[in-house]
Amino acid sequence: MSKVAIIGLGYVGLPLWINFSKHVETIGFDVDEKKINTLNSSQSYIKHFGNAEIQKSIERGAEATTDFSRISEAKMIIICVPTPLTKNKDPDMKYVLSVLDLIKKYLKSGQILSLESTTYPGTTEELIKPIIESEGFKVGSDFHLIYSPERENPGGEISQENIPKVIGGVTKKCTDLGVSFYSKVFKEMVPVSSPKIAELVKLLENIHRAVNLGMINEFKMICDKMGIDTYEVVKAAASKPFGFVPYYPGPGWGGHCIPVDPFYFSWKAKEYGSTARFIELAGEMNELVIDWIKLKIQSLLNNQNKAVSNSKVLLLGLSYKENVDDARESPSLEIFDFISKNGSEVEYSDPHFPDFPITRKFNYKQKSVNINKDSLSDYDLVVVLTKHNAFDYELILQHAKMILDTRGVFEVDNKNVFRG
């Protein structure tokens, strides 16, 4: 039996479902019947995976179901469900616990269970292992448990199989079995000594990015006061072939990982009497920059004798990064909400979101608008939030009255154009 079960068919689980189907029998599980029906109709609900990829997976025999009793058919079970934060920024493990509750009665001797959801160090051994063993198994003997952090980069150029795979098992046998199974898809294995190490690897990767984003966004805000082009500074500094990694400013942090993962670490640190002050400060800075952009919008309109309440504003890009259909935790949604609540006529354009993305916080009934030279001249301000390749920036530059590029702000060619 070499069948793999993938639980949670979102941005992490769906590419695993596609790639494992090239090598072994694959079943995808999700509680969302709409997702399952879409896949079984050979359609994709994530745009950077085309319908053709789903069709090929189905033709190879990949299945999708809401019937969790079929977990018993699998040799390897991979959990890829969300791990958000509570309102108090504590880890929210309800989705992982819900999955374990759904599948525990269908587990079989000899299976391998892998958690890929980002989490705090200790989750695998302190939370999951006791639940498995409460069903009568002995982890490391007749059941095998590992943690292997997801490393998805939506819209990135590196294919999943070429991204090294970190694996940490509860025992060496667990690790070895995990390496053996994952190597069917991934070309390079990176075994580590324990699940805690693997859990911390993921947190460190995203803490590194969050801290540097906080730094460069603070740098941008100071450069704005100096009237200096932040992007030009970063690009020139990036010419140094050692000791520097370029980070570019933006409207804040977004995506499921970067705004969430650092707080998993700072929460766990408190258990050991430590405060992750530097990491928490970076979080504050990445949230502060959203407020700074709101003030910048008000200031630019005021300079034109316009109030937000009687202005017409266009936002370019709702996704949290360029060229993807992912608006999870996107600062663009916060900015849209701010402008709307302040009485402005606000519209957006994003080729990846024909309809405004519905989230836990926002539920606007608006559609993406098309951009042309006539429509651009109708807006008092165009705010560039996400730079999609689909946008014609020359057209925007020529016909918009005023542009705010949230990556950095300064005046160009005596025109009311602000960019970084």
In the block, tokens 């709409």 appear at 34
Asked if residue 334 lies in contact with residue 252, where contact means CB atoms within 8 angstroms, the answer is: yes
Closest CA to 389 of 315, 317, 313, 314: 317
Could you tell me which of 418, 414, 386 has the C-alpha nearest to residue 402?
418
Question: Distance between CA 94 and CA 83 in Å, rounded?
Answer: 8
**Residues 365, 356 contacting (CB under 8 angstroms):** yes
* Selection from 149, 154, 160 nearest residue 10 by Cα: 154
Separation between Cα atoms, residue 1 and residue 12, nearest integer Å: 24
Distance of alpha carbon 162 from alpha carbon 164, whole angstroms: 6
Burial class (CB in 10 A: 0-12, 13-18, 19+), 364: middle
Residues whose CB falls within 8 Å of the CB of residue 357, separated by 6 or more in sequence, listed in order = 318, 327, 330, 333
Q: Is 30 exposed, middle or buried (0-12, 13-18, 19+ CB in 10 A)?
A: buried
Contacts of 225 (CB under 8 A, 6+ apart): none
List the catalytic residue out of 80, 174, 223, 257. Answer: 257
Q: Confirm whether 257 is a catalytic residue.
A: yes
For 56-99, give the DSSP string: HHHHTT-EEES-GGGGGG-SEEEE-----B-TTS-B--HHHHHH
**Residues of the chain by 3-state class (helix, strand, coil), percent to 5:** 40, 15, 45
307-345 burial, b if ≥16 CB within 10 A, otherwise e?
Answer: ebeebebbbbbbbbbebbbbbbbbbbbbbbebbbebebe
Catalytic site residues? 257
